[in-house]
Amino acid sequence: MVTLREDSGRATGIRGRLGELCYSSGLLHSLQWMRGWWQKDLRILAYHRVMPLPDPQIYDFDLELISTPPERFREQMQLLKQRFRPMRLTDVAAALDAGEALPPDAVVVTFDDGYDDNYRIAYPILRELGIPATFFVSTGHIDTGRPFAYDWLVRMILLTTASRLMLPELDMDLPMPETRAERRALAGRVLLSMKNIGALEQSALIARLEHEWQMPSEAVRPSACRPMTWAQLREMHAAGFEIGSHGVHHRMLAKLPPNEMENEVRQSRATLERELGPAAMLMSYPVGGDRAFDQRVIEATTAAGFQLAVCYICGTNPQPASNRYALHRLPVERNMGPGWFAAMLTLPNLMSYPTTSHATASDQVPACSP
């Protein structure tokens, strides 16, 4: 059983406090109007999980993937409905294909991975309020019901009885911390370091720990961290929500050998069509930072027939036709109170988190044609 933790959503940091100040002062309406007059960019919100905030001392998975609790998500969607223009991502694609301008204050709501709280909690709120959304799912996890590999790695580090964390793949050999908070910090460090090695090497590392620590992921289907089912996705699809690809096994596509990468892209599309029939051909690159996709991935995505693709690089899209296969998004995080969220939508370049660039000059993804 998960014990819930109270969270006031009180602003933290400079961005949070400035956002709350703008919100409480009533300035945001005027600022939104002024900004909309001279900058008509596309905003795309990025969520992972919507769920009650758990007690970190007994929650065995990654807290950083919780975007917002249910009551705050409802407030966010009500704000979206009142002050912005929620759009389907396929409507954005249609406008780009036709060479038409997007309406002012256009916002798209997206979810990554395919956690079942998307169905249990987010979907009913979106349906009630009439807000369109796109859910990007890793089809292999929907097929099997197995937890996501990164989630399982965090769980293993939190629960293992091993005295040391030995990861020669990452040049790490450390004593295992005693406290839950220290183990969480260590797990975050491991996840960050793993993004520097190949995707197959990442999978092998996690599989090795499962074997050595006798914690196989296929033996457990934890209710606190499970993917949606195809039956749930079919219901959402029938209700008008878009279901897009997030790869097959949630691997960093640019870190895969070419044949493996192309297979992930094509197979994810084939599975969506098999299970849902005609579906929106939309892609979200797993992990999605500048190390997770490159020009090869963009070309494979385009060749597979996808209409648009989003990444996890923070920002808006002033000219979405120029980067329709690498659309930037605005991540929503659980420490965003109402004021910060409203200010981020109104002044995204000022109030959102900047993305740290890890790509070298030769790795930079060029703008792509519509």
In this model, does residue 216 exceed pLDDT 70?
yes
Average pLDDT, integer, range 264-293? 94
Lowest-confidence region among 24-38, 189-203, 232-246, 282-296 = 24-38
Domains of the chain: 13-145+226-363 (3.20.20.370), 149-219 (no CATH)
Q: Per-residue b/e over 148-167, b at no fewer than 16 CB within 10 Å?
A: bbbbbbbbbbbebeeeebeb
Q: Is the pLDDT of residue 368 over 90?
A: no
Q: How far apart are CA 110 and CA 45, in angstroms?
A: 6
- Phi and psi for 333 in degrees, rounded to 5? -125, 155
Question: What is the DSSP code (8-state) at residue 348?
Answer: H
Q: Which candidate, 261, 112, 284, 286, places its Cα nearest to that of 194? A: 286
Residue 104's pLDDT band (cuts 50, 70, 90): confident
CA dist., res. 97 & res. 92, Å (int): 9
Q: What is the DSSP string of 122-157?
A: IHHHHHHHT---EEEE-HHHHHH-PPPHHHHHHHHH
Q: How far is CA 100 from the centre of its chain?
A: 28
Helix (H) / strand (E) containing 233: helix 230-238
pTM of the entire predicted model: 0.90
Tokens 């069509």 correspond to what residue?
Answer: 273
Indicate the pLDDT class of residue 26, thresholds 50, 70 and 90: low
